[in-house]
């Protein structure tokens, strides 16, 4: 009996020691923040073709909500931020290769992406809306899209929304960039498009031949993407983001770039 108890106790002890060793090795192997500190800069990847979140001015300067947010986070982490512009479809793969440390690029939180990356806490909720030409009278909302050609940018929450309406709409047309969908809508190659409301308002202010119709279709949590299992970096980014929200900086950035009226009649 004593031998049996001793053997059982030994087995339990070995299991506990193995679990402790596994946990210690896991934390020890997570150099996600340490490597950035040693490098001396935080490389932020994004696709600078999505105002007001990120875009290039005529002089090539990078501006937008995500630019200001990244700089605010870098300030809290006490590390310089370097921005790298890239193609939207290749951003996650680029981060996996090490081209970027994190992605701050108006990226929606999805189950599919979560399999490949870590997510920060949400830094904004973004609604998806329907855009049509200003002279359009038959499309007033989602139900009026029956049989219509509707566009959306690939690999975005807008694409997911449109895919979810595939049994309603006549055809879903997908684009590399939302700007391309706006061009096709302008020249009547599609009947409507779906995109984030902030981007829609920016485009309508530049070209009032478009309008938003109907109720918002969907609300998406916008998050920062980080390398898979970069848990130390993720926790530090979340802590910095929480500080930026608490001290009012986040609200100032929001008011600067996103607190715009959806009334486009003027």
CA–CA dist 123, 221 (Å, integer) = 7
CA–CA dist 234, 223 (Å, integer) = 11
- The least confident of 7-16, 104-113, 138-147 is 7-16
Residue-wise pLDDT tens digits, 169-182: 999 999 999 999 99
Residue-wise pLDDT tens digits, 32-49: 999 999 999 999 999 999
For 198, the domain range is 126-220
Q: Sorting pLDDT into bands at 50, 70 and 90, what band is 218?
A: confident
Checking if the pLDDT of 55 tops 90, the result is yes
β-strands 54-56, 117-119 pairing: unpaired
CA–CA dist 116, 109 (Å, integer) = 12
224 vs 26, 33, 122, 207, 213, CA distance in Å?
23, 15, 8, 30, 29
This prediction has a pTM of: 0.74
Assess whether 45 and 165 both reside in one domain.
no
- Please state the domain count of the chain: 2
Q: Which residue has the tokens 């391309």?
A: 180
| CB-count burial class (<10 Å; 0-12, 13-18, 19+) for 133 | middle
Query: Residue 112: its pLDDT value, please?
Result: 60
Query: Residue 157: its pLDDT value, please?
Result: 87
Query: Residue 264: its pLDDT value, please?
Result: 37
Assess whether 171 and 205 both reside in one domain.
yes
Assess whether 176 and 114 both reside in one domain.
no
**Structure tokens that stand for 249 in this block:** 């900086």
Helices 32-39 and 231-246 sit at what angle, rounded to 10 degrees? Answer: 70
Q: Is residue 238 part of a domain?
A: yes
- CATH number, position 114: 3.40.190.10
Assess whether 211 and 226 both reside in one domain.
no
- The least confident of 2-16, 63-77, 177-191, 198-212 is 2-16
Q: Is residue 157 part of a domain?
A: yes
Assess whether 108 and 40 both reside in one domain.
yes
Assess whether 143 and 191 both reside in one domain.
yes
Residue-wise pLDDT tens digits, 151-160: 999 988 899 9
CA–CA dist 124, 107 (Å, integer) = 10
CA–CA dist 60, 62 (Å, integer) = 6
Average pLDDT over residues 25-30: 57
**Structure tokens that stand for 235 in this block:** 């926790």
Strands, E assignment, 86-208? 102-108, 117-119, 124-133, 149-153, 171-175, 192-196
Q: Sorting pLDDT into bands at 50, 70 and 90, what band is 111?
A: low
Strand partners of residue 165: none
Assess whether 44 and 175 both reside in one domain.
no
């Amino acid at each position: 009996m004593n031998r049996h108890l001793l053997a059982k106790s030994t087995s339990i002890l070995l299991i506990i020691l193995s679990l402790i060793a596994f946990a210690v090795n896991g934390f020890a192997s997570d150099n996600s923040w340490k490597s950035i500190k040693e490098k001396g800069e935080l490389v932020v990847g994004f696709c600078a073709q999505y105002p007001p979140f990120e875009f290039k001015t005529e002089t090539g300067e990078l501006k937008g909500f995500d630019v200001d947010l990244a700089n605010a986070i870098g300030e809290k982490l006490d590390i310089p931020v370097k921005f790298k512009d890239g193609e939207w479809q290749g951003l996650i793969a680029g981060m996996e290769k090490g081209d970027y440390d994190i992605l701050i690029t108006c990226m929606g939180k999805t189950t599919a992406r979560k399999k490949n990356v870590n997510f920060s806490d949400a830094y904004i909720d973004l609604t998806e809306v329907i855009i049509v030409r200003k002279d359009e009278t038959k499309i007033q909302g989602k139900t009026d899209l029956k049989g219509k050609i509707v566009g959306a940018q690939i690999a975005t929450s807008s694409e997911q929304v449109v895919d979810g309406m595939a049994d309603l709409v006549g055809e879903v047309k997908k684009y590399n960039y939302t700007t391309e969908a706006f061009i096709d809508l302008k020249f009547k190659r599609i009947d409507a498009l779906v995109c984030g409301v902030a981007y829609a308002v920016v485009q309508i202010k530049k070209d009032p031949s478009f309008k938003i119709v109907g109720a918002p279709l969907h609300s998406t949590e916008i998050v920062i993407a980080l390398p898979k299992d970069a848990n130390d970096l993720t926790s530090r980014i979340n802590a910095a983001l929480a500080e930026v929200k608490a001290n009012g900086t986040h609200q100032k950035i929001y008011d600067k770039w996103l607190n715009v009226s959806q009334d486009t009649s003027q």
